[in-house]
Amino acid sequence: VVQSVVKKAIELAPDAWMPGGKPDPLGRQKHGLVGASVSRIDGPLKVQGDARFAAEFALEGLVFASVRYSTIPKGRIASLDTAHAEAAPGVVLVMTHRNAPRMKPMPLFGSAQKAAGGNDLPILQDDRIHWNGQPVALVLAHTQEEADHAASLIALDYAAEPATTSFEAAKAKCTEPATFMGQPLAVAIGDAEAALAKAAHRVDQVYRTPRHNHNPIEPHAATLLWEGETLRVHDATQAVSHTAWSLAQVFGIEEDKVHVTSPFVGGGFGSKTLWEHQVLGAAAAKLAGRPVRIALSREGVYRVVGGRTLTEQRVAIGTDEDGRFDAIVHTGTIATTAHNGMPEPFILATLNLYGARNFKLGIDAAKLDMIANTFMRAPGEAVGTFALESAVDELAHDLGLDPIELRARNEPERDPVKGTPFSSRNLLEAYRTGAERFGWAHRSPEPGMRREGDWRVGMGCATATYPYHRMPGGAARITIRRDGTALVAIAAHEMGMGTATVQTQICAERLGLPMESVSFAYGDSALPGMVLAGGSQQTASIGASVVAAQRLLVAELLKLAGNDTPLAGLSPDEVGGTNGGLAGIEHPDRFESYASILSRAGRDEISVVGEAPMPLETEHWSMHSYGAVFAEVRVNAVTGELRVSRFLGSYDCGRILNPKTAASQFKGGIIMGLGLALMEETQFDERSGRIMNPSLAEYHVPVHLDVPAIDLIWNDIADPHAPMGARGIGEIGITGVAAAVANAVFNATGKRVRDLPITLDKLM
Ligand code: MOS
């Protein structure tokens, strides 16, 4: 058995993913666990109500927080009277800028390695107002209802100052090139405008996407207490280490004096980082000397937590007679603030999707007085692919070419901007298999040709893409015990996407143990590593850390095993985990179990911490996940009602580690993409800078009746340069979807909608 497992492992092993490193075949074997449809290990806990979320910790002396939000976009608090609130039943504390402890602003995301703040504005430090909805006071009381009531009794008057709350005004007044983490978001290769002017065919259009707000099922919440000098935070976060470090900066204490845990998160999508609520909760807990639960209301999430900002994008493509791209222009403007970490980088997908000799890509940021916007699933690509993939469809129609054929003609051989080879790119294959399964051949090339009763029917497709990332600083601890069980620990996150399950599969496979023998500990800032659950990169980052730790573990175990073992004389590189112990890769008959090695050495357990190598693979290769997505829509000729009747995603994301959890990620992303296409829109009052629809009653997301059966296929081609052969799958699902729907709407009706969402008034 050992022999055949090891042989198979060697056959299936992709190339070494570490530049300069060595292949490590046993580590990437595929003996049944990796690639298996394992159900979520946290599933039973959740359906039985045994998973405790951030707002569910019942602590001795717990008090409840309620926040008051400003109602003007800019100015200062002119008068403030808290007497009635303080006298209200159950009130423990009313905290305003007058009595809040001195705190530094949150370190803005991107300003330091572990900076997690959504903005870097003062929090209750002065009477200044920076956006409509800014927290201006917090009440603690014995119950949530008492706190909410008392907060409503605070008398506030403002001295308003002129604010920039309209996008057009901001564009005219204060626009500057956008940067992301210090890097400019601009590319110029050749002379794209000149090439465009000379092109045989061209498309040149402006596409618009509105603001979006975050609506995870679990609104943002934290339960906080000070244990002596240590701040203890039961949080709902996608960044425990970053949050701990950032809170330490805010309160001017050592990083190890903040302990953040987040075992369960009810969805994050980019929003569950550090916002005012954790800081306010910690400050109030300090003043009151009691544990505090701060659970934002749904409206509170809209006031305090940023969303996706609006974009206005120009896409121009110039081609030769045969439709080969010569120039690609993708420029435009976003709305943002002066205290912002996320410029909605909509050009990202355009950096690698198509070959061309001339590129002009760039983003301008118009600065408004509004809540800082932030990351939302595929920030950049989600809305950027709407513009780019709509433009490609427009061009195909003008050229009289099938849109898939036009894409095939412009498939680049190397990364067109970076010049590096692709690590693995099978986009056209994804189109071929997707088109066949979807019945693309039945699409009429001419729009408006298919009608069933009052319904016009059409099909559209688009490319989905999201980059592979792996972040530096990954470390993992592996402990093997004499009873044959293992504990793998890393400060990573489970927000419902299946991380804990997939990582248990990966660890069990690497260690050569059954899944039941492996525990995966995560969601705790005290654990090694600092893996952010963002950028679709957790799986690769954790995997690389586990690979590194497992290699160390093998070396340590060989030392313990000494000479009196069948493994004697083998180097760590020649040995891997299998069947509850270690075996030689070339000599699988040479085997000793973990239990045997440890008991011979008189040890109960062995523990190592391994650190992942720097993520150099993305310097050597252009690494991206891809997909071809197909939509069929029905548009009512009388009412304009739009229904997506069929949807298929055909993905090229490297090896799929768990088809069940992967399918959920793709589907969830596609559903979010349908929301982007059909209904999601933050109503922002441009006179006051206030968000007017801060509730799920008025901010529409897809419900079951809006979502057709979603068909999914993937090619499962391992990426030789990614750990486990797997690229990210968390965010790609939302990309391409809006364009596929818009392109299908055009095919059904002949109407090209260039501003989202595609509501029925735009189809009448
Ligand atoms: Mo994602 S927007 O990187 O959480």
Q: E strands of 27-172, at which residues?
A: 63-69, 75-81, 91-95, 128-129, 135-141, 155-160
Q: Is the peptide bond before 659 cis (omega within 30 degrees of 0)?
A: no
- Residue to probe by mutation, ligand 1, list 308, 377, 665, 735, most atoms within 8 Å of CB: 377
Atom index in ligand 1 nearest the CA of residue 534 equals 3
Atom index in ligand 1 nearest the CA of residue 269 equals 4
Residue ranges, CATH 3.30.365.10, the chain: 2-31+471-614, 380-469+619-763
Chain centroid offset of residue 170 CA: 28
Residue 713 near residue 94, CB atoms below 8 Å: no
Q: By CB neighbour count within 10 A (0-12 exposed, 13-18 middle, 19+ buried), where does 574 fall?
A: middle
Residue 454 near residue 638, CB atoms below 8 Å: yes
Q: What is the distance between the alpha carbons of residues 102 and 13, in angstroms, rounded to a whole number?
A: 55
Q: Is 107 left (phi over 0), alpha (psi -120 to 50) or beta?
A: beta
Q: E strands of 559-709, at which residues?
A: 575-578, 581-584, 591-593, 605-611, 624-636, 642-652, 684-685, 690-691
| Residue 619: how many other CB atoms lie within 10 Å | 10
What is residue 324's predicted lDDT score, i.e. its pLDDT?
98
Residues 6+ apart with CB under 8 A from 34: 28, 505, 506, 509, 655, 657, 724
Atom index in ligand 1 nearest the CA of residue 379 equals 2
DSSP string, 245-290: HHHHHHHT--GGGEEEE-S--S--TT--SB-HHHHHHHHHHHHHTS
pLDDT averages per 10-residue partition of the chain, 764 residues: 34 33 39 84 94 96 98 98 98 98 97 96 98 98 98 98 97 90 91 98 98 98 97 98 98 98 97 98 98 98 98 98 98 96 96 97 97 98 98 98 98 96 96 98 97 98 97 90 96 94 92 95 96 94 90 95 96 90 91 97 97 88 97 97 98 95 98 98 98 97 96 93 92 98 98 98 95
Task: Compute the distance from residue 482 Cα to the ligand 1 centre, in Å.
Answer: 39
Residue 721 near residue 695, CB atoms below 8 Å: no
Q: How big is the CA angle at 528 (ends 523 and 529), to the nearest 5 degrees?
A: 80
DSSP string, 476-516: EEEEEETTS-EEEE-S---SSSSHHHHHHHHHHHHHT--GG
Residues near ligand 1 (Cβ within 6 A): 238, 268-270, 375-377, 379, 534-535, 731
Residue 731 is among the residues annotated as catalytic for this protein = yes
Q: What is the distance between the alpha carbons of residues 575 and 562, in angstroms, rounded to a whole number?
A: 14
Task: Compute the distance from residue 117 Cα to the ligand 1 centre, in Å.
Answer: 14
- The CATH homologous superfamily for domain 54-162+217-267+272-304 is Aldehyde oxidase/xanthine dehydrogenase, a/b hammerhead (3.90.1170.50)
Task: Compute the distance from residue 264 Cα to the ligand 1 centre, in Å.
Answer: 17
Q: What is the pTM of this model?
A: 0.95
Atom index in ligand 1 nearest the CA of residue 272 equals 4
Strand 358-367 and strand 186-189: pairing? Answer: antiparallel
Name the residue with the closest Cα to ligand 1, atom 4.
270
Atom index in ligand 1 nearest the CA of residue 730 equals 1
Q: Which two tokens stand for residue 571?
A: 């180097």
**Class of CATH domain 380-469+619-763:** alpha beta
* Closest listed residue to residue 73, CA positions, set 508, 570, 556, 687: 687
- Return the SS3 of 137: strand
Q: Which of 146, 381, 617, 731 is catalytic?
A: 731
Q: Is 98 left (phi over 0), alpha (psi -120 to 50) or beta?
A: alpha
Q: E strands of 506-565, at which residues?
A: 518-521
Chain centroid offset of residue 544 CA: 19
Q: Which residue has the tokens 């927290």?
A: 135
Q: What is the distance between the alpha carbons of residues 53 and 305, in angstroms, rounded to a whole number?
A: 19
Q: Is 341 left (phi over 0), alpha (psi -120 to 50) or beta?
A: alpha
Task: Compute the distance from residue 185 Cα to the ligand 1 centre, in Å.
Answer: 18
The identity of residue 585, as a single letter, is I
DSSP string, 182-245: TEE-EEEES-HHHHHHH-SEEEEEEEEE--B----SS--EEEEEEETTEEEEEE--S-HHHHHH
Exposure class string for 582-605: b at 16+ Cβ within 10 A, else e = bbbbebbebbbebbbbbeeeeeee
Residue 190 near residue 357, CB atoms below 8 Å: yes
Atom index in ligand 1 nearest the CA of residue 377 equals 2
Multiple choice CATH, 2-31+471-614, 3.30.365.10, 3.40.50.1110, 1.10.3720.10, 1.10.10.10 = 3.30.365.10
Question: Cα dist. 58→44, 103, 166, 280 in Å?
Answer: 22, 27, 44, 19
What is residue 209's predicted lDDT score, i.e. its pLDDT?
98
Q: By CB neighbour count within 10 A (0-12 exposed, 13-18 middle, 19+ buried), where does 235 fall?
A: buried
- Residue to probe by mutation, ligand 1, list 213, 237, 731, most atoms within 8 Å of CB: 731
Task: Compute the distance from residue 199 Cα to the ligand 1 centre, in Å.
Answer: 38
The identity of residue 664, as a single letter, is S
Q: Which residue has the tokens 């990573």?
A: 492
What is residue 5's predicted lDDT score, i.e. its pLDDT?
33
Question: Given CA atoms 245, 247, 253, 256 in this order, what sign does their dihedral have?
Answer: negative
Query: Rounded to a whole number, what is the distance in angstroms from the first to the last CA of the chain?
Result: 67
Q: Which two tokens stand for residue 27?
A: 């580590």
Task: Compute the distance from residue 761 Cα to the ligand 1 centre, in Å.
Answer: 32
Alpha helices in 61-100 (DSSP H): 83-87
DSSP string, 418-462: T-PBBS---HHHHHHHHHHHHTGGGS-SSTT--EETTEEEEEEEE
Question: Cα dist. 317→201, 393, 405, 700 in Å?
Answer: 8, 11, 16, 33
Q: E strands of 43-185, at which residues?
A: 63-69, 75-81, 91-95, 128-129, 135-141, 155-160, 175-177, 179-180, 183-184
Question: Given CA atoms 389, 392, 397, 402 in this order, what sign does their dihedral have?
Answer: negative
What is residue 636's predicted lDDT score, i.e. its pLDDT?
97
Q: Tell me, what's the ipTM?
A: 0.97
Crossing angle of helices 499-511 and 538-561, in 10° steps, is 30
Task: Compute the distance from residue 218 Cα to the ligand 1 centre, in Å.
Answer: 16
